[in-house]
Amino acid sequence: MTTNTNSKSTKLRRLGAVVFALPLFLGACGAQAQLGVDGPTALEPHELPQIEPVTKGGHLTILDSAKDPGFDPAKSQSLAITSAGLVHRRLTTWEILPGKDPQVVPDLATDTGKVSEDGKTWTYHLKKGLKFSDGSPITAKEIKYGVERSFAPTLSGGLGYHKSLLAGTDKYEGPYSGQHLDSIETPDDYTIIFHLVRPYGDWPWIVSLPAFSPVPPAKDNPEGYSRAPIASGPYEIKNYRTGVEVQMVRNKYWDQDDVRLAGPDSITFKLGNDPVVSAQKLISAQNQYADTFSSSKVPAAQLITAAQSPAVGQRLQIADAGPLLYLAINTQRITDLHVRRAFNYAMDKSAVVKAAGGALAGKISSTLITPGISGFEQYDLYPAPPTGDLEAAKAELDKAKDKPTGPLVLLTKNKSEDVLRCEAIARSLEKLGFKVRIEPVESSVYSERTTQGDGNSYDLALASWNPDFPSAGANLQPLFASSEVGNGGVNRSRFKDPQIDQIIEKASATFNQAEAAKLWHEADKAIMEKAPVVPLNYQRFSYLRGRNVTNFFVPGFPSYPNYLIIGLKNDSK
């Protein structure tokens, strides 16, 4: 028996069928935002933001902080709905709409895949008549080649979930030496078959990742493909100037697309923009920024300014609850469970939220799975007021037999808001009698110390996690599976537990979504019983747009604007 995992949710038709009218996130009522005890607070939406039909035309500008974003799918970690999704299509993609859970939907494929009875073989059929921006046909062979090149050491850095799932990939280093993967079959131009090493229920999400974009072998240039890729999406790159801008124009061969509205005629990414300066430009409401939005989160100071202004507030989009901010506890150094549980009780989470801008910037969390993703259920194993429960923490600490004696090293990236958060964390732990030494370091040093080596250089680490695709597995497996300790894995708690590994493996192999959700929730609670982390808050990411930019909203997941549906008002042309 085979299972068709295609989801027939409402599609956005690029021909401009009327879908909804768009009430803006903070409303059109123009009410004044207020400052409360937890920092600035803004009006919560009384109506869901909705999607307008786009009008074709105009030129959209995106202020980007990156200097060299790159568009090579093998090296990309771009989300399906952001920059790379404008240029590259994948076998499947994401449908992200207001008020709806994220859905995996067909993109180049006709459905989201058919799986064999043993769960190890997935088959996809491609839509016919698809073409690259050079007019050549898109076939299964280009998709296979695109996946194969992601294994090349020279093209490292991209999302690599598929590398441990596809069979026969040990020591495989890409197609450039003439080697190809037998675990990917292309029996004809419109069929591609993947053979996995184990059953994996989230495979339809995996083939929505950048590596599953087609690449024509004859046009491949590993050194320069990031700046001059062959497009399969609605836009192709006309000009790429590192540190300056990327200019995109319409791909005249783009067709048969249900998720990309492709409103603007052209798009320019302005590179190397400081997020503070970008926010100030958009707050100023000058005409030159009317057709512009910033891809950077609004910094705390500018967020307060924007939220307090009725006029600017109408152009400010704030996600409800998104990526998890948490304190990773190095379980190989802080081995006593009661100590880790005491940290959970003692934490003044309200102070951590205030440090980043208050209620506009985050909501206190007690769980691990991101709200809005299947498997999320609210619970709290360490109930306490927002300011923490010092008495409960001390009672838990009294049970400990192996308390840390020296100063606890709290590692963080050297960003001002992260240092402020760490200062709030340190105050909570100092009330328990622990000394804390905060070590702000460069991002590369932070990554090296938390994901490589034996982990002996830190006791605690401030960390944030936004899943790479909307599945509870993408929340929990990377952060807590034993296989993700060291060697570049992001299990920064250095947490290893065979029972947890078994639950994760079972949930990953479950194809029934309702059953999988129950298992992931079980895993969430089982992990928190062991207290390898202190969940701090679900971050609320905020973004600003110019007055002519339409269909601009920020869902809880992935807490980024959906670039694929953005349009411009008529008067911007």
What is the per-residue pLDDT across 145-166, written as a single tens digit (0 to 9) for each?
A: 999 999 999 999 999 999 999 9
Four-CA torsion 29, 33, 34, 35, nearest 10 degrees: 170
CA distances from 167 to 15, 163, 197 (A): 41, 9, 5
Q: What is the reported pTM?
A: 0.89
202-215 pLDDT per residue, tens = 999 999 999 999 99
Amino acid in position 227: R
Report the alpha-carbon distance of residue 121 to residue 325 in Å, rounded: 36
The reported pLDDT for the residue numbered 372 is: 85
Mean pLDDT of 176-186: 97
- As a whole number of angstroms, the distance between CA 433 and CA 398 comes to 12
For 361-416, the pLDDT digits (tens) are 899 999 999 888 989 999 999 999 999 999 999 999 999 999 999 899 999 999 98
Percent of the chain, pLDDT > 90? 81
Average pLDDT over residues 34-51: 48
Residue showing tokens 């004859």: 218
Whether residue 337 has pLDDT greater than 50: yes
Residue 250 and residue 389: Cα distance in Å, rounded? 57
Helical axes 472-480 vs 513-530, angle rounded to 10°: 30
Strands 408-413 and 436-441: parallel
CA distance 420 to 416: 6
Over residues 457-462, the mean pLDDT reads 98
The mean of the pLDDT values for the chain is 90
Q: Is residue 29 assigned to a domain? A: no
According to the model, what pLDDT value does residue 137 have? 98
The more confident residue out of 7 and 354 is: 354
Q: Classify residue 522: in a domain, yes or no.
A: yes
> Is residue 495 scored above 90 in pLDDT?
yes
Residue 438 lies inside a defined structural domain of this protein: yes
For residue 337, give every residue at least 6 positions away whose Cβ sits within 8 Å of its Cβ, in sequence order, or none: 530, 531
- Does 38 have pLDDT greater than 50? no
Mean pLDDT on 51-55 = 86
Q: Do 269 and 364 belong to one domain? A: no
Does residue 217 contact residue 223 with C-beta atoms inside 8 Å? no
Indicate if the pLDDT at residue 458 is higher than 50: yes
In this structure, the answer to whether residues 315 and 433 fall within a common structural domain is: no
| pLDDT tens-digit readout, 237-259 | 999 999 999 999 999 999 989 99
Average pLDDT over residues 511-522: 94
- Give the residue from 171, 193, 225 where a domain finishes: 225
Residues above pLDDT 70, as percent of the chain: 91
Tell me how far apart the alpha carbons of residues 364 and 362 are, in angstroms, rounded to a whole number. 7
pLDDT-derived band at 48 (thresholds 50, 70, 90) equals: low
Same domain? For 98 and 210 the reply is yes
Answer yes or no: is pLDDT of 317 > 80. yes
484: domain CATH number?
A: 3.10.105.10
Q: Which residues contact 37 (CB under 8 A, 6 or more apart)?
A: none
- Check whether residue 313 and residue 198 sit in a common domain: no
For 431-568, list the strands marked E by DSSP: 436-441, 460-465, 533-539, 542-544, 549-550, 567-568
Q: Is the pLDDT of residue 32 over 70?
A: no
User: Residues 387, 431: one domain?
Assistant: yes
Q: Is residue 12 part of a domain?
A: no
DSSP state of 411: E
Task: Extract the runs of DSSP E, i.e. beta strands, from 420-527.
Answer: 436-441, 460-465
- pLDDT score, position 114: 98
- Please name the amino acid found at residue 462: L
Q: Looking at the structure, tell me whether residues 555 and 428 fall in a common domain.
A: no
Question: What residues make up the domain containing 397?
Answer: 324-539
Q: Give the number of domains in the chain.
A: 3
pLDDT band for position 16 (50/70/90)? very low
Residue 41 falls inside a structural domain = no
| pLDDT surpassing 50 at residue 291 | yes
The answer to whether residues 533 and 466 belong to one domain is yes
Q: What is the pLDDT of residue 304?
A: 86
Decide which of 172, 196, 225 is a domain's last residue: 225
**Cα–Cα–Cα angle for 369, 373, 379, nearest 5°?**
45
Within a domain: 178: yes
pLDDT at 439: 98
Residue 20 lies in a domain: no
User: How far apart, in whole angstroms, are the C-alpha atoms of residue 295 and residue 62?
Assistant: 7
117 and 247 share one domain = no
The band of 100, judged by pLDDT with boundaries at 50, 70 and 90, is: confident
Q: Which of 199, 225, 251 is the last residue of a domain?
A: 225
Choose between 99 and 294: higher pLDDT: 294
478 belongs to a structural domain: yes
Indicate whether 454 and 377 sit together in one domain. Answer: yes
Instruction: Kindly state whether residues 556 and 533 are assigned to the same domain.
Output: no
* Residue count of the chain: 573
Provide the CATH number for the domain around residue 308: 3.40.190.10
d(CA 111, CA 538): 33
43 pLDDT more than 70: no
Assess whether 209 and 281 both reside in one domain: no
Query: What is the pLDDT confidence band of residue 47, given thresholds at 50, 70 and 90?
Result: low
Pairwise pLDDT comparison (32 vs 290), residue with the higher score: 290
Confidence label for 33 from pLDDT (cuts 50, 70 and 90): very low
Residues 332 and 308 in one domain: no
